[in-house]
């Protein structure tokens, strides 16, 4: 009997020990789940992506404005290890490299300047924790994933070329990936929406007869003139400032090629030249490019040709400077309605309030006098 009791006691001790081990294992699993190294986000291609919680190295392909958005979002460029060639060109000739000189350390040798491909072997050498790519390019996503990268899609087209909504959604996604900076999304959205509302209030007072006809010169060379039809950023900008995009009847997506006869027939009152071309207002005033004669165009006759701003990036696209670009476009098109707006001070206030970046007057003013060297092509 004593022997039997001893056996039972031994078995009970064994069961208890196994229970403790199992319980310890459960606690260990719970602890592991609490210290997970990844988090799941839905990117702008609609894909659920597991991204590392600790991201120290970031690379960008295709999305040219994103490196500048990232640098301003972090108020630092030390995480950016790779970026497109076109992004670097803008950085070197704008505010980005002045405010964040570390951006110049980023590599570009993996980038295909056409945006259609990427050298994954060179990209691997950078050991990025995350790679941002164009959400509308599933082939790029597949290529990056097959090479072992954590690929997150960023879209420039999900919001019908509305630059403010696009910027707000970029910042919102970044805030989910980098929650320590989540307040940035609220700041950007609030400021952007306030500027948009103020612009709408003012331009609604413009009489229909005074509504300006604008033309966006997206690219210009000896052999090509490209503008924005209704499916590109120029259309949004024109609508947002209460102007008429003279090329709105063209339905081609992105840049669309036109000729001088079309421009003569449209006869725009204001011309905005993007930083995707080296052309400057003087090139139109003096007919310096190709054999085109711009002297017949009303905007040229009245000296109302303007180079678009370049702050952290080329302002035609969504980017850090989007709210200021909207304000500048509106003030430039309708100076009387915005005569009380000091664009230099507004720019300084924006950078300080939203990104805690203090600009000098010279830096703020330089945004509105971009160099031809900043051209993407």
Q: Read off φ and ψ for residue 365, nearest 5 degrees.
A: -70, -30
Tell me the C-alpha distance between 353 and 280, whole Å.
32
Q: What is the three-class DSSP state of 103?
A: helix
> What is the distance of C-alpha 276 from the center of its chain?
15
Give dist(CA 131, CA 127) in Å, integer: 10
Q: Is the pTM of this model over 0.75?
A: yes
**Cβ-based neighbour number of residue 341 at 10 Å:** 17
CA distance 257 to 279: 16
Other Cβ atoms closer than 10 A to 335: 10
Structure tokens at 171: 């910042």
Q: Which two tokens stand for residue 165?
A: 């909504």
What is the structure's pLDDT at 35? 64
DSSP string, 205-247: TS-GGGPPEEEEE-EE-SS-EEEE-SBSHHHHHHHHTT-EETT
Residues forming a β-bridge with 166: none
Distances in Å between the Cα of 120 and the Cα atoms of 147, 250, 271, 309 are 7, 37, 41, 33
What pLDDT, on the 0 to 100 scale, is given for residue 36? 80
Q: Is the dihedral of CA 274, 280, 282, 287 positive or negative?
A: negative
Angstrom distance (rounded) from CA 314 to CA 370: 9
What domains are defined for the chain? Answer: 38-182 (3.40.50.1980), 189-374 (3.40.50.1980)
H/E element, 41: strand 38-42
pLDDT-flagged residues of the chain (< 70)? 1-35, 182, 376-377
Looking at residue 179, its pLDDT comes to: 87
Q: Residue 312 in contact with residue 96, Cβ under 8 Å?
A: yes
Q: Say how far apart CA 51 and CA 144 lie, in whole Å.
A: 14
pLDDT of residue 374: 84
Long-range contact list for 256-263, CB < 8 A, 24+ apart? Answer: 256/226, 256/227, 256/228, 256/229, 256/232, 257/224, 257/225, 257/226, 258/225, 258/226, 258/227, 259/225, 260/225, 260/292, 260/293, 260/294, 263/215, 263/225, 263/297
């Amino acid at each position: 009997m004593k022997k039997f009791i001893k056996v039972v006691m031994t078995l009970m001790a064994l069961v208890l020990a196994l229970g403790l081990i199992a319980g310890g294992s459960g606690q260990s699993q719970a602890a592991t789940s609490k210290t997970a190294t990844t988090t799941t986000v839905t990117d702008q291609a609609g894909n659920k992506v597991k991204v590392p919680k600790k991201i120290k190295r970031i690379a960008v392909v295709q999305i040219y404005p994103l490196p500048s958005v990232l640098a301003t979002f972090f108020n630092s460029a030390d995480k950016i290890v790779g970026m497109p060639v076109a992004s670097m060109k803008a950085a070197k000739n704008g505010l980005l490299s002045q405010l964040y000189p570390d951006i110049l350390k980023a590599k570009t040798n993996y980038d295909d300047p056409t945006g259609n491909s990427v050298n994954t072997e060179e990209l691997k050498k950078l050991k990025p924790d995350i790679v941002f790519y164009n959400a509308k390019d599933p082939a790029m996503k597949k290529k990056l994933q097959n090479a072992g990268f954590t690929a997150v899609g960023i879209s420039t087209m999900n919001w019908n070329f509305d630059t403010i909504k696009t910027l707000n959604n970029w910042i919102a996604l970044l805030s989910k990936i980098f929650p320590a900076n989540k307040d940035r999304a609220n700041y950007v959205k609030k400021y952007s929406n306030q500027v948009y509302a103020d612009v709408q209030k003012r331009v609604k007072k413009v009489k229909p007869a005074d509504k300006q006809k604008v033309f966006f010169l997206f690219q210009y060379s000896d052999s090509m003139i490209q503008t924005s039809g209704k499916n590109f950023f120029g259309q949004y900008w024109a609508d947002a400032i209460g102007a008429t995009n003279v090329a709105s009847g063209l339905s081609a997506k992105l840049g669309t090629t036109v000729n001088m006869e079309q421009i003569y027939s449209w006869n725009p009152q204001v011309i905005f030249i993007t930083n995707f071309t080296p052309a400057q207002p003087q090139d139109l005033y003096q007919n310096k490019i190709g054999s085109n004669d711009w002297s017949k165009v009303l905007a040229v006759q009245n000296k109302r040709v303007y180079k678009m701003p370049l702050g952290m990036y080329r302002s035609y696209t969504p980017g850090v400077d989007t709210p200021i670009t909207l304000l500048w476009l509106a003030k430039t098109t309708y100076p009387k309605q915005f005569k009380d707006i000091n664009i230099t001070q507004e720019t300084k206030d924006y950078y300080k309030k939203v990104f805690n970046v203090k600009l000098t007057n010279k830096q703020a003013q330089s945004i509105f006098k971009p160099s031809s060297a900043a051209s993407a092509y």
